[in-house]
A and B are shown apart, each in its own frame.
Chain A
Amino acid sequence: MSLQAVPARYRVASRAAETCDTVTLVLEPVDEPIAPHRPGQFAMLYAFGSGEVPISISGEPGGPGLVYTIRSVGAVTRALCEADPGELIGVRGPYGTDWGVADAAGQDVIVVAGGIGLAPLRPALLAALAARSRYRRVTVLIGTRTPDDLVFAGELDAWREQGADVRVTVDRAAVGWRGHVGVVTQLIDRVNVDPAATLALVCGPEVMMRLTARSLLARGVSSGSVRISLERNMRCGIAECGHCQLGPLLLCRDGPVISYQRAAPLLSVKEL
């Protein structure tokens, strides 16, 4: 099983703005399609002449097209966010480890998302909702900056209808917001948790993931039952450039999804 040497070309089938700086692209293959993503995996997306960035899959596994939700933060992501339907984008992947939500069969699933971190979690949530009877409670806790920064805002009610308890909190409310205001860890304090039978999937800024993991551990969830998605500088995505190291881990190969049990001692070392 050898790696693809060059990006596979995909055409932008649609582009939807999620927030003022985030878009969701749906891509359809022009060249031979890549292998299907598992939830949590990522691909290196190429904008012609600009470069590549690692982006996690954000769409339904097995759904039509490849779906990526991209925040415009630099030259390459800006180019990707500005790609019109019909334009070509290069894709190398899928790479990395997956959320493994199926491991929670018969148990509670708690999904905790911070900001754009909801995007890599969405495929795992959709997979769980598609097989809803396999799981006990499905809880989704979303922290976001302001109500305007909430991604996939239009889908939350559908998730609730499919049997998820979805709660959103904002760091800063806007006029007219009547939902929760506060950090997402405060929501954890208020949900029912069965520590012995819970799988928690957490994604967001690293500080948010550390604090969330601590809150979950304080509720009795074991660190092996908390999975986070880590990020480090990535250049190749295929474990040969050395950039994405975190101690013994190569995040493009041993991550990005890692159990908190494995990650905690590494995250506690400054500048590791």
Chain B
Amino acid sequence: MNDAVPAPALAEHAFLRGMPADDVARLARAAVAVRLPAGHRLFDEGTPAKKCWLVTSGHVALDLNMPGRANLIIETLGRGDVLGFSWLSPPHQWQFGAEAVESTEAFELDGATVMALCDSHPELGYQLALRFLAAAVRRLQATRIRLLDLYAAPSQSAEAR
């Protein structure tokens, strides 16, 4: 069941912290509140990317389908996270799949509506761009840390002589 999102509720999400109230109000026009049951697939790899989600509770898994390793989870997101970057730029195609692992609530933002709002209100676009960049950087930094394989035994790690 999808509900319109009042601007104050949207403003509470960590992703939008500090965004001017006017911009939040505009963004609310593109948002609906969704509840995704456990097991619900939000999108599959290769399909058109047209939305993003601001997760408010529960947890979503990003996965990849590989021969012999069906739906291997590569990252999980939860409360406070933004899900979905691929809608922002060509080819507008999901690079991974996403599934709600448990019952999950989120604000779903329609990509086309958000872009139209940003075209007519560049300040909104600027605010969103900074936040998407910050989220991507945090994700990148976390990924770099995972690549360090910090928990590996000396013989397992790349540093082994």
Listed in ascending order, the chain A residues whose CB lies under 8 Å from chain B are 21, 71-73, 114-116, 143-145, 149, 169, 171-175, 177-183, 185-186, 189-190, 204-205, 207-208, 211
Contact = CB atoms under 8 A, between A and B. Distances in A.
Contact of B80 (A21, A115, A190, A211): A190
Nearest to A71: B153
A181 B145 contact: no
B34 interface: no
A179 B145 contact: no
A208 B150 contact: yes
3 nearest A-B residue pairs (beta carbon) = A115-B151, A145-B151, A205-B150
A144 B80 CA distance: 22
Given A145-B152, A190-B79, A172 B146 contact: yes
B64 to A, nearest CB: 10
B74 A175 contact: no
B150 A144 contact: no
Contact of B142 (A73, A174, A185): A185
A207 B145 contact: yes
A204 B145 CA distance: 13
B41 to A, nearest CB: 14
A175 to B, nearest CB: 5
Contacts of A173: 72-74
Interface of B: 14, 59, 61-62, 69-70, 72-76, 78-81, 101, 142, 145-146, 148-155
A175 B145 contact: no
Contact of B150 (A115, A182, A189): A115
Nearest to A170: B73
B76 A114 contact: no
B153 A21 contact: yes
Nearest to B38: A178
A182 B146 contact: yes
A265 B45 CA distance: 45
A178 B80 contact: no
Contacts of B61: 178, 181
B150 A204 contact: yes
A4 to B, nearest CB: 31
Contacts of A73: 153-155
A178 B101 contact: yes
Contacts of B152: 145
Contacts of B69: 175
Contact of B76 (A21, A181, A185, A207): A181
Contact of A116 (B75, B101, B145, B151): B151
Nearest to A177: B73
B151 A207 contact: no
Nearest to A21: B153
Contacts of B145: 183, 185, 207-208, 211
Contact of A171 (B81, B101, B151): B151
A172 B147 CA distance: 10
Nearest to A180: B76
Given A178-B101, A183-B145, A190-B78, 18 more contacts: A73-B155, A116-B151, A143-B151, A144-B151, A169-B76, A171-B151, A173-B72, A175-B70, A175-B72, A177-B73, A181-B62, A181-B73, A181-B75, A181-B76, A185-B142, A190-B80, A204-B150, A208-B145
26 contacts: A21-B153, A71-B153, A114-B151, A115-B150, A144-B151, A149-B151, A171-B149, A173-B73, A174-B72, A175-B69, A175-B70, A178-B101, A181-B61, A181-B73, A182-B76, A182-B142, A183-B145, A183-B146, A189-B81, A190-B78, A190-B81, A204-B150, A204-B151, A208-B145, A208-B150, A208-B151
Given A181-B74, A182-B142, A207 B150 contact: yes
